[in-house]
Amino acid sequence: MTSVKASNWTSLGSGLDLEGRILFADTIADRLFVGGNFRHSGNNPTNSFAAWTGVVWDTNYSGMTDQNPVHDIYRFESKLYAGGSFRKAGGKTVNGFTYWNGLEWDSINIAFHNNGVLSGFSEINSELICVGSFDSVGLDSSPNIASWDGFSWNSIGLPHAISGY
């Protein structure tokens, strides 16, 4: 017979007031980042994005300023990115895609048409692949998938006429 020894559950402060959707354990910032549809982490207003230090909720990363959720979090080329259906972060219009510049959330020149939503990230061939519900990035048709190389967007979707989108 095999015996198993389990650890105990530990609370993270007083938790989140609403739904958490994504966890990202970041060894560079030494934080557990949480994205979702919440307004507070612990007793702190953090609007959809929070950071746990292992002891307390870190409010330095708060700044999503609307009531829409963060769907994914990813570190790409030393920058921390957040994607979702939020429109504002750090007082700037970000259209669901933003990065932490070391001091605040910053905007990236992007135009998802039809109120696009980013729902997931992955990295391949030194590009950040972004999926979600959008028909284009900027002036380029790219239904539901595009790549970011750290400086510009690249269309990798099929044209609308072929995809039927």
pLDDT tens digits, 94-115: 888 899 999 999 987 666 666 7
- How far apart CA 106 and CA 100 sit, in angstroms, is 6
Q: Phi and psi of 163, rounded to 5°?
A: -75, -20
Provide the percentage of residues in the chain whose pLDDT is more than 70: 88
What does DSSP say about strands 31-36 and 49-52: parallel, antiparallel, or unpaired?
A: antiparallel
Cα gap 150→65, rounded to integer Å: 24
- What are the tens digits of pLDDT across the range 35-80? 999 999 999 998 899 999 999 999 899 888 777 899 999 999 999 9
Q: What is the pTM of this model?
A: 0.86
131 Cβ partners below 8 Å, 6+ apart? Answer: 118, 119, 120, 121, 144, 145
Is residue 137 over pLDDT 90?
A: no
Give residue 145's identity as a one-letter amino acid code: I
